[in-house]
Structure 1
Protein backbone atom coordinates (compact mmCIF):
# COMPACT_ATOMS: atom_id res chain seq x y z
CA UNK A 1 0.00 0.00 0.00
CA UNK A 2 1.30 3.42 -0.85
CA UNK A 3 2.54 5.56 1.99
CA UNK A 4 0.57 8.57 3.14
CA UNK A 5 -3.15 9.22 3.13
CA UNK A 6 -5.20 7.54 0.43
CA UNK A 7 -7.85 9.32 -1.64
CA UNK A 8 -10.60 7.49 0.24
CA UNK A 9 -9.17 8.51 3.61
CA UNK A 10 -8.98 12.13 2.45
CA UNK A 11 -12.62 11.97 1.39
CA UNK A 12 -13.64 10.51 4.75
CA UNK A 13 -11.73 13.27 6.56
CA UNK A 14 -13.53 15.90 4.47
CA UNK A 15 -16.88 14.31 5.28
CA UNK A 16 -16.08 14.41 9.00
CA UNK A 17 -15.14 18.09 8.74
CA UNK A 18 -18.36 18.83 6.84
CA UNK A 19 -20.39 17.03 9.51
CA UNK A 20 -18.64 19.00 12.26
CA UNK A 21 -19.30 22.24 10.37
CA UNK A 22 -22.99 21.40 9.97
CA UNK A 23 -23.26 20.45 13.63
CA UNK A 24 -21.69 23.76 14.62
CA UNK A 25 -24.11 25.65 12.38
CA UNK A 26 -27.07 23.79 13.86
CA UNK A 27 -26.33 25.04 17.38
CA UNK A 28 -29.14 27.37 18.41
CA UNK A 29 -29.02 29.99 21.13
CA UNK A 30 -30.52 29.48 24.58
CA UNK A 31 -31.39 31.94 27.33
CA UNK A 32 -28.61 31.88 29.92
CA UNK A 33 -29.12 33.49 33.31
CA UNK A 34 -28.23 32.88 36.92
CA UNK A 35 -30.77 30.21 37.78
CA UNK A 36 -30.53 30.01 41.60
CA UNK A 37 -32.45 31.46 43.34
CA UNK A 38 -34.46 32.11 40.19
CA UNK A 39 -36.56 29.37 38.68
CA UNK A 40 -35.86 27.35 35.56
CA UNK A 41 -37.57 28.17 32.28
CA UNK A 42 -39.89 25.19 32.78
CA UNK A 43 -40.90 26.56 36.19
CA UNK A 44 -41.31 30.08 34.85
CA UNK A 45 -43.74 28.73 32.27
CA UNK A 46 -46.02 27.56 35.07
CA UNK A 47 -46.04 30.90 36.92
CA UNK A 48 -49.01 33.22 36.87
CA UNK A 49 -48.56 36.78 35.62
CA UNK A 50 -47.61 38.31 38.98
CA UNK A 51 -45.20 35.49 39.88
CA UNK A 52 -43.58 35.66 36.45
CA UNK A 53 -43.04 39.41 36.65
CA UNK A 54 -41.53 39.07 40.13
CA UNK A 55 -39.05 36.47 38.86
CA UNK A 56 -38.22 38.48 35.74
CA UNK A 57 -37.52 41.61 37.77
CA UNK A 58 -34.87 39.66 39.64
CA UNK A 59 -33.41 37.93 36.59
CA UNK A 60 -33.24 41.13 34.53
CA UNK A 61 -32.16 43.24 37.50
CA UNK A 62 -34.98 45.74 37.04
CA UNK A 63 -34.95 48.20 39.92
CA UNK A 64 -37.83 50.59 39.15
CA UNK A 65 -40.21 49.17 36.53
CA UNK A 66 -43.10 51.07 38.14
CA UNK A 67 -41.51 54.47 37.47
CA UNK A 68 -38.99 53.85 34.67
CA UNK A 69 -40.56 53.58 31.21
CA UNK A 70 -37.60 51.64 29.82
CA UNK A 71 -37.70 48.99 32.56
CA UNK A 72 -41.49 48.77 32.34
CA UNK A 73 -41.27 48.11 28.60
CA UNK A 74 -38.60 45.43 29.07
CA UNK A 75 -40.59 43.69 31.79
CA UNK A 76 -43.72 43.73 29.66
CA UNK A 77 -41.89 42.42 26.59
CA UNK A 78 -40.17 39.54 28.39
CA UNK A 79 -43.35 38.50 30.19
CA UNK A 80 -45.27 38.72 26.90
CA UNK A 81 -42.82 36.32 25.25
CA UNK A 82 -43.40 33.77 28.01
CA UNK A 83 -47.17 34.17 27.74
CA UNK A 84 -47.08 33.83 23.96
CA UNK A 85 -44.83 30.76 24.12
CA UNK A 86 -47.16 29.15 26.66
CA UNK A 87 -50.20 29.80 24.46
CA UNK A 88 -48.29 28.33 21.52
CA UNK A 89 -47.52 25.17 23.55
CA UNK A 90 -43.79 25.72 23.24
CA UNK A 91 -41.50 23.41 25.18
CA UNK A 92 -39.07 24.87 27.74
CA UNK A 93 -36.25 24.62 25.18
CA UNK A 94 -38.33 26.38 22.53
CA UNK A 95 -39.31 29.05 25.05
CA UNK A 96 -35.70 29.52 26.11
CA UNK A 97 -34.73 30.01 22.47
CA UNK A 98 -37.50 32.57 21.98
CA UNK A 99 -36.42 34.58 25.02
CA UNK A 100 -32.75 34.38 23.98
CA UNK A 101 -33.72 35.65 20.55
CA UNK A 102 -35.55 38.57 22.12
CA UNK A 103 -32.57 39.36 24.33
CA UNK A 104 -30.22 39.29 21.34
CA UNK A 105 -32.38 41.64 19.28
CA UNK A 106 -32.80 44.12 22.13
CA UNK A 107 -29.07 44.10 22.85
CA UNK A 108 -28.42 44.78 19.17
CA UNK A 109 -30.58 47.89 19.46
CA UNK A 110 -29.21 49.09 22.79
CA UNK A 111 -25.50 48.23 22.50
CA UNK A 112 -24.81 48.02 18.76
CA UNK A 113 -27.38 50.62 17.61
CA UNK A 114 -28.45 48.37 14.74
CA UNK A 115 -31.02 49.61 12.28
CA UNK A 116 -34.04 47.43 11.58
CA UNK A 117 -32.60 45.93 8.37
CA UNK A 118 -29.42 44.83 10.16
CA UNK A 119 -31.38 43.37 13.06
CA UNK A 120 -33.67 41.50 10.69
CA UNK A 121 -30.55 39.87 9.28
CA UNK A 122 -29.43 38.87 12.78
CA UNK A 123 -32.91 37.49 13.45
CA UNK A 124 -32.68 35.29 10.35
CA UNK A 125 -29.19 34.08 11.30
CA UNK A 126 -30.34 33.10 14.80
CA UNK A 127 -33.51 31.43 13.54
CA UNK A 128 -31.84 29.27 10.87
CA UNK A 129 -30.04 26.80 13.21
CA UNK A 130 -33.26 26.20 15.16
CA UNK A 131 -34.94 25.05 11.94
CA UNK A 132 -32.17 22.63 10.93
CA UNK A 133 -32.16 18.92 11.68
CA UNK A 134 -29.62 18.06 14.40
CA UNK A 135 -26.98 15.38 13.92
CA UNK A 136 -28.78 12.71 15.95
CA UNK A 137 -30.77 10.17 13.94
CA UNK A 138 -34.57 10.30 14.01
CA UNK A 139 -34.54 13.71 15.68
CA UNK A 140 -36.45 16.76 14.56
CA UNK A 141 -35.36 20.42 14.53
CA UNK A 142 -36.17 22.66 17.46
CA UNK A 143 -38.78 24.52 15.40
CA UNK A 144 -40.83 23.06 12.58
CA UNK A 145 -42.09 25.20 9.71
CA UNK A 146 -45.26 26.28 11.49
CA UNK A 147 -43.41 27.09 14.72
CA UNK A 148 -40.92 29.22 12.81
CA UNK A 149 -43.73 31.05 11.00
CA UNK A 150 -45.54 31.78 14.26
CA UNK A 151 -42.36 32.99 15.95
CA UNK A 152 -41.51 35.22 12.99
CA UNK A 153 -45.01 36.66 12.98
CA UNK A 154 -44.81 37.36 16.71
CA UNK A 155 -41.53 39.27 16.46
CA UNK A 156 -42.78 41.11 13.39
CA UNK A 157 -45.82 42.53 15.18
CA UNK A 158 -44.33 42.97 18.65
CA UNK A 159 -40.85 44.30 17.82
CA UNK A 160 -40.11 45.14 14.21
CA UNK A 161 -43.33 47.06 13.56
CA UNK A 162 -42.52 49.15 16.66
CA UNK A 163 -38.79 49.38 16.01
CA UNK A 164 -38.53 53.16 16.27
CA UNK A 165 -40.20 53.05 19.68
CA UNK A 166 -37.72 50.48 21.00
CA UNK A 167 -34.83 52.48 19.56
CA UNK A 168 -36.09 55.51 21.47
CA UNK A 169 -36.60 53.60 24.72
CA UNK A 170 -33.29 51.73 24.66
CA UNK A 171 -30.89 54.34 23.28
CA UNK A 172 -32.20 57.69 24.52
CA UNK A 173 -30.89 58.82 27.93
CA UNK A 174 -33.70 59.09 30.47
CA UNK A 175 -33.01 62.78 31.19
CA UNK A 176 -33.08 63.65 27.49
CA UNK A 177 -36.30 61.75 26.86
CA UNK A 178 -37.98 63.56 29.73
CA UNK A 179 -36.81 67.02 28.65
CA UNK A 180 -37.77 66.42 25.04
CA UNK A 181 -41.32 65.73 26.15
CA UNK A 182 -41.62 69.00 28.07
CA UNK A 183 -44.44 71.14 26.73
CA UNK A 184 -45.62 74.69 27.39
CA UNK A 185 -49.29 75.09 28.16
CA UNK A 186 -50.84 78.53 27.76
CA UNK A 187 -53.85 79.17 29.97
CA UNK A 188 -56.55 81.52 28.73
CA UNK A 189 -58.80 83.35 31.20
CA UNK A 190 -62.40 84.25 30.55
CA UNK A 191 -64.64 86.72 32.40
CA UNK A 192 -66.87 85.16 34.99
CA UNK A 193 -70.35 84.29 33.86
CA UNK A 194 -73.34 85.99 35.52
CA UNK A 195 -74.58 84.40 38.70
CA UNK A 196 -78.19 84.75 37.56
CA UNK A 197 -79.33 84.16 34.02
CA UNK A 198 -81.91 86.96 34.42
CA UNK A 199 -79.22 89.60 34.99
CA UNK A 200 -78.00 91.16 31.72
CA UNK A 201 -74.36 90.39 31.08
CA UNK A 202 -73.41 94.03 30.46
CA UNK A 203 -74.76 95.05 33.87
CA UNK A 204 -72.97 92.15 35.53
CA UNK A 205 -69.62 93.06 33.94
CA UNK A 206 -70.00 96.71 35.01
Structure 2
Protein backbone atom coordinates (compact mmCIF):
# COMPACT_ATOMS: atom_id res chain seq x y z
CA UNK A 1 0.00 0.00 0.00
CA UNK A 2 1.41 3.39 -0.97
CA UNK A 3 1.73 6.22 1.49
CA UNK A 4 -0.22 9.44 1.25
CA UNK A 5 1.97 12.35 0.08
CA UNK A 6 2.62 14.98 2.74
CA UNK A 7 0.29 17.97 2.65
CA UNK A 8 -2.59 16.13 1.01
CA UNK A 9 -5.45 14.05 2.33
CA UNK A 10 -6.16 10.48 1.23
CA UNK A 11 -8.66 11.90 -1.24
CA UNK A 12 -5.99 14.14 -2.72
CA UNK A 13 -7.29 17.40 -1.30
CA UNK A 14 -4.98 19.91 0.32
CA UNK A 15 -5.37 21.09 3.93
CA UNK A 16 -6.42 24.50 2.59
CA UNK A 17 -9.27 22.96 0.57
CA UNK A 18 -10.34 20.91 3.60
CA UNK A 19 -10.41 24.04 5.77
CA UNK A 20 -12.52 25.86 3.17
CA UNK A 21 -14.92 22.91 3.02
CA UNK A 22 -15.09 22.84 6.82
CA UNK A 23 -15.85 26.55 6.94
CA UNK A 24 -18.61 26.17 4.36
CA UNK A 25 -20.08 23.29 6.34
CA UNK A 26 -20.09 25.40 9.50
CA UNK A 27 -21.71 28.24 7.57
CA UNK A 28 -24.59 25.89 6.73
CA UNK A 29 -25.19 24.93 10.37
CA UNK A 30 -28.35 26.65 11.57
CA UNK A 31 -28.37 29.25 8.84
CA UNK A 32 -30.16 32.27 10.33
CA UNK A 33 -32.89 32.30 7.71
CA UNK A 34 -35.79 30.93 9.76
CA UNK A 35 -36.56 34.31 11.32
CA UNK A 36 -35.03 37.57 10.18
CA UNK A 37 -33.40 40.04 12.56
CA UNK A 38 -36.33 42.41 11.99
CA UNK A 39 -38.84 39.68 12.87
CA UNK A 40 -36.98 38.69 16.04
CA UNK A 41 -36.73 42.33 17.10
CA UNK A 42 -40.45 42.77 16.46
CA UNK A 43 -41.32 39.68 18.51
CA UNK A 44 -39.20 40.81 21.45
CA UNK A 45 -41.53 43.75 21.98
CA UNK A 46 -44.65 41.55 22.21
CA UNK A 47 -46.33 39.78 25.11
CA UNK A 48 -47.07 36.04 24.88
CA UNK A 49 -50.26 36.55 22.90
CA UNK A 50 -48.56 38.96 20.54
CA UNK A 51 -45.67 36.57 19.98
CA UNK A 52 -48.06 33.81 19.00
CA UNK A 53 -50.11 36.08 16.74
CA UNK A 54 -47.12 37.56 14.92
CA UNK A 55 -45.36 34.21 14.58
CA UNK A 56 -48.51 32.87 12.97
CA UNK A 57 -48.24 35.65 10.41
CA UNK A 58 -44.49 35.31 9.89
CA UNK A 59 -44.74 31.53 9.42
CA UNK A 60 -47.83 31.80 7.21
CA UNK A 61 -50.13 29.65 9.33
CA UNK A 62 -53.49 30.41 7.73
CA UNK A 63 -55.70 27.67 9.15
CA UNK A 64 -55.23 28.03 12.90
CA UNK A 65 -58.97 27.91 13.53
CA UNK A 66 -59.50 24.62 11.73
CA UNK A 67 -56.15 22.83 11.50
CA UNK A 68 -54.88 21.16 14.65
CA UNK A 69 -51.44 20.63 13.11
CA UNK A 70 -50.93 24.35 12.44
CA UNK A 71 -52.06 25.25 15.95
CA UNK A 72 -49.65 22.76 17.55
CA UNK A 73 -46.72 23.82 15.39
CA UNK A 74 -47.35 27.49 16.16
CA UNK A 75 -47.40 26.65 19.84
CA UNK A 76 -44.11 24.77 19.44
CA UNK A 77 -42.36 27.78 17.94
CA UNK A 78 -44.01 30.36 20.22
CA UNK A 79 -43.18 28.38 23.35
CA UNK A 80 -39.59 28.10 22.18
CA UNK A 81 -39.32 31.83 21.53
CA UNK A 82 -40.78 32.70 24.93
CA UNK A 83 -38.38 30.27 26.61
CA UNK A 84 -35.47 31.92 24.77
CA UNK A 85 -36.69 35.30 26.01
CA UNK A 86 -36.34 34.02 29.56
CA UNK A 87 -32.74 33.10 28.75
CA UNK A 88 -32.07 36.71 27.70
CA UNK A 89 -30.56 35.60 24.40
CA UNK A 90 -28.92 37.99 21.97
CA UNK A 91 -30.37 38.40 18.48
CA UNK A 92 -27.93 35.90 16.98
CA UNK A 93 -28.69 33.42 19.78
CA UNK A 94 -32.43 33.81 19.17
CA UNK A 95 -31.79 33.22 15.48
CA UNK A 96 -29.72 30.08 15.99
CA UNK A 97 -32.08 28.67 18.61
CA UNK A 98 -35.23 29.19 16.54
CA UNK A 99 -33.54 27.67 13.50
CA UNK A 100 -32.46 24.77 15.70
CA UNK A 101 -36.11 24.18 16.64
CA UNK A 102 -37.08 24.24 12.98
CA UNK A 103 -34.29 21.88 11.92
CA UNK A 104 -35.22 19.35 14.60
CA UNK A 105 -38.76 19.28 13.22
CA UNK A 106 -37.38 19.05 9.68
CA UNK A 107 -35.35 16.01 10.72
CA UNK A 108 -38.48 14.38 12.11
CA UNK A 109 -40.98 15.40 9.44
CA UNK A 110 -38.92 15.27 6.23
CA UNK A 111 -36.03 12.94 7.01
CA UNK A 112 -38.12 10.66 9.24
CA UNK A 113 -35.28 10.74 11.75
CA UNK A 114 -35.76 8.63 14.85
CA UNK A 115 -35.63 10.09 18.35
CA UNK A 116 -32.17 8.59 18.83
CA UNK A 117 -31.01 10.01 15.50
CA UNK A 118 -32.30 13.49 16.27
CA UNK A 119 -30.66 13.48 19.70
CA UNK A 120 -27.38 12.48 18.06
CA UNK A 121 -27.81 15.24 15.47
CA UNK A 122 -28.45 17.77 18.25
CA UNK A 123 -25.27 16.69 20.01
CA UNK A 124 -23.24 17.18 16.85
CA UNK A 125 -24.71 20.61 16.20
CA UNK A 126 -24.23 21.77 19.79
CA UNK A 127 -20.61 20.65 19.57
CA UNK A 128 -20.22 23.09 16.68
CA UNK A 129 -22.14 26.11 17.97
CA UNK A 130 -21.58 25.54 21.69
CA UNK A 131 -18.54 26.10 23.87
CA UNK A 132 -15.22 24.68 22.72
CA UNK A 133 -11.59 24.84 23.71
CA UNK A 134 -10.48 25.01 20.07
CA UNK A 135 -9.32 28.50 19.15
CA UNK A 136 -10.06 27.96 15.45
CA UNK A 137 -13.73 27.43 16.30
CA UNK A 138 -14.23 30.55 18.42
CA UNK A 139 -15.97 32.37 15.56
CA UNK A 140 -18.63 29.64 15.50
CA UNK A 141 -19.28 29.58 19.25
CA UNK A 142 -22.74 30.97 19.89
CA UNK A 143 -23.71 29.62 23.32
CA UNK A 144 -21.74 29.23 26.53
CA UNK A 145 -21.78 26.05 28.63
CA UNK A 146 -24.74 27.12 30.77
CA UNK A 147 -26.81 28.13 27.76
CA UNK A 148 -25.98 24.97 25.80
CA UNK A 149 -26.98 22.77 28.73
CA UNK A 150 -30.20 24.76 29.19
CA UNK A 151 -31.10 24.31 25.52
CA UNK A 152 -30.57 20.56 25.75
CA UNK A 153 -32.65 20.38 28.94
CA UNK A 154 -35.44 22.38 27.29
CA UNK A 155 -35.54 20.07 24.28
CA UNK A 156 -35.62 17.01 26.53
CA UNK A 157 -38.84 18.16 28.19
CA UNK A 158 -40.45 19.57 25.06
CA UNK A 159 -39.89 17.94 21.67
CA UNK A 160 -37.99 14.83 22.76
CA UNK A 161 -40.29 13.86 25.62
CA UNK A 162 -43.29 14.02 23.27
CA UNK A 163 -41.58 12.73 20.13
CA UNK A 164 -44.22 10.05 19.51
CA UNK A 165 -46.94 12.69 19.50
CA UNK A 166 -45.09 14.76 16.93
CA UNK A 167 -44.50 11.64 14.83
CA UNK A 168 -48.24 10.99 14.91
CA UNK A 169 -48.85 14.61 13.95
CA UNK A 170 -46.74 14.27 10.81
CA UNK A 171 -47.20 10.62 9.87
CA UNK A 172 -50.90 10.16 10.50
CA UNK A 173 -52.59 8.68 7.42
CA UNK A 174 -55.43 11.16 7.60
CA UNK A 175 -55.31 14.92 7.67
CA UNK A 176 -55.59 16.13 11.24
CA UNK A 177 -58.18 18.77 10.48
CA UNK A 178 -60.79 19.26 13.15
CA UNK A 179 -64.07 20.17 11.46
CA UNK A 180 -66.63 21.33 13.93
CA UNK A 181 -67.12 23.86 16.66
CA UNK A 182 -64.41 26.03 18.15
CA UNK A 183 -64.97 24.17 21.43
CA UNK A 184 -64.00 20.85 19.81
CA UNK A 185 -60.88 22.32 18.24
CA UNK A 186 -59.87 24.01 21.49
CA UNK A 187 -60.41 20.78 23.44
CA UNK A 188 -58.09 18.83 21.13
CA UNK A 189 -55.48 21.56 21.20
CA UNK A 190 -55.54 21.87 24.98
CA UNK A 191 -55.13 18.11 25.33
CA UNK A 192 -51.88 18.27 23.38
CA UNK A 193 -50.82 21.43 25.23
CA UNK A 194 -51.43 19.72 28.58
CA UNK A 195 -49.21 16.83 27.55
CA UNK A 196 -46.53 19.36 26.61
CA UNK A 197 -46.79 21.23 29.89
CA UNK A 198 -46.57 18.02 31.90
CA UNK A 199 -43.02 17.76 30.67
CA UNK A 200 -42.09 20.81 32.70
CA UNK A 201 -43.43 19.21 35.86
CA UNK A 202 -41.34 16.03 35.59
Task: Give the alignment's TM-score, normalised by structure 1.
Answer: 0.68
**Quick check: 115-124 or 169-178, which moved more?**
169-178
Relative to its length, the structure with more helix (as a share) is 2
Q: Deviations over 1:116-139 (max 9, x none)?
A: 1111122222222102467487x6
Confirm or deny: 8 A CA contact 2:35 2:95 kept in the other structure.
no
Q: How does 1:50-69 map to 2 (within 5 A)?
A: 50-69=49-68
Confirm or deny: 8 A CA contact 2:34 2:99 kept in the other structure.
no
Provide the residue aligned with 2:45 in structure 1.
Answer: 46
**Structure 1 stretches of 5 or more lacking a match?**
1-6, 179-206
**Structure 2 stretches of 5 or more lacking a match?**
1-5, 179-202
Would you identify which runs of 4 or more consecutive aligned residues in structure 1 move more than 6 Å? Answer: none
Separation (CA, whole Å) in 2 of partners of 1:75 and 1:34:
14
Provide the residue aligned with 2:156 in structure 1.
Answer: 156
Confirm or deny: 8 A CA contact 1:45 1:86 kept in the other structure.
yes
Secondary structure in 1 matching 2:82: helix
Larger radius of gyration: 1
RMSD: 3.0
Displacement of 1:45 after TM fit? 2.3
Q: 1:134 to 1:103 in 2, by over 3 A?
A: farther
Separation (CA, whole Å) in 2 of partners of 1:141 and 1:111:
28
Provide the residue aligned with 1:171 in structure 2.
Answer: 171
Provide the residue aligned with 1:201 in structure 2.
Answer: none
